[in-house]
Structure 1
Amino acid sequence: MSNPQPPEPAGIRRTPLRTTVRYGIAGAPLLTAEQLRDGSYGPGTGIEPSVIEIRYSSAREGVEASVSVTVTGSWTSEGEPERPAREVETRFEGDRDQWPRWVRLEVRLSDPACQHLYVPADDFRPGDLIHVGSEEWPVVEARTVTRDQYSSVTVNAGASDQLDGRVWQHAYVTRKTVQARR
């Protein structure tokens, strides 16, 4: 026997306005004084990330969609944790090109508007985040994808993060499925 749901009252529409993702993080690069947004930190200081919170706000009448990120962690001095540990946080919003690369990738990887797929290399597209799994390049963002007559696929040809493979090889990708957020 099924469990019937009560009918929704007539005329009520529900629109999600914000999705928040919060999780612990280990192994992320230190945030340096140069990357901390408000400029109030002295040379050699930084934050060792331990928690990240990403807020995806939907577009609605008169308001554009947006993303903001809060990174919480311990103060560092010259790359070493301060003792006793003091927890601090910093916020990233606005122009994502000014954010550290790893923060931008976290935003893409957790975006509720993305799908996580296992696809053949022949299906790679610009904009895909390809999960490589290496220590140096755990995720590569495809900027260009080229195929040749010999079943080879090259991602980001000539760049330091170039990937080479065959059309039948598979990888996990994170792919945007709706219009990009700004």
Structure 2
Amino acid sequence: MTAGVLHGDAVRVLSSWRAPDRGQDGLRLEFLRHLEEHPADGLWRECAAGHITASTAVLDASGTRVLLTLHSKVKAWLQLGGHCEPGDVALAGAALREATEESGIPGLRLVPGPVQLDRHEVPCHPQGTWHLDVQYVAVAPEGARHAISDESDDLRWFPVDDLPDSADAAVRRLVARAVAASA
């Protein structure tokens, strides 16, 4: 039952989202096509053609720092997030669940709606596959303290205008859009 609810939410979110540019709108249409072509498994890790994921740029209460994870598999600084799970009923809920689990910070406040989409290749399957990532922004409560999860080698606050060298262009764009969306 929740799989159909989550699929419906993903279609609704992507159908109603106003992309900030043509490239993002192209990804939005690609993600919707993926969900149409994979109605039963397009949100799940098992879908070898790719799957929808949900991630979050977590900002501190001042909006001047972003919490990034040194991902244990990728060995790069990334936003928090990951795979949808069977209990998820909304993409925003999956993004918030992942951010809370990976940061250890209770009380994160999710900014309504996605801020960016990203499609990137990952080794979830032996032949490789794609994450079709719907990216959100959350703001941590004042004085929030984080805790490193099993999925991270490290977890650290960075100034939004001084990200680590291993943060790729997609993370940099996400942080810039996160700052604008939380202002």
Answer 1 or 2: higher relative contact order, Cα 8 Å, separation at least 6. 2
Greater Rg by CA = 1
- TM-score, with structure 1 as normaliser: 0.25
Q: Compute the TM-score of the two structures, normalised by the length of structure 2.
A: 0.25
Higher strand share: 1
Structure with the bigger percentage of helix: 2
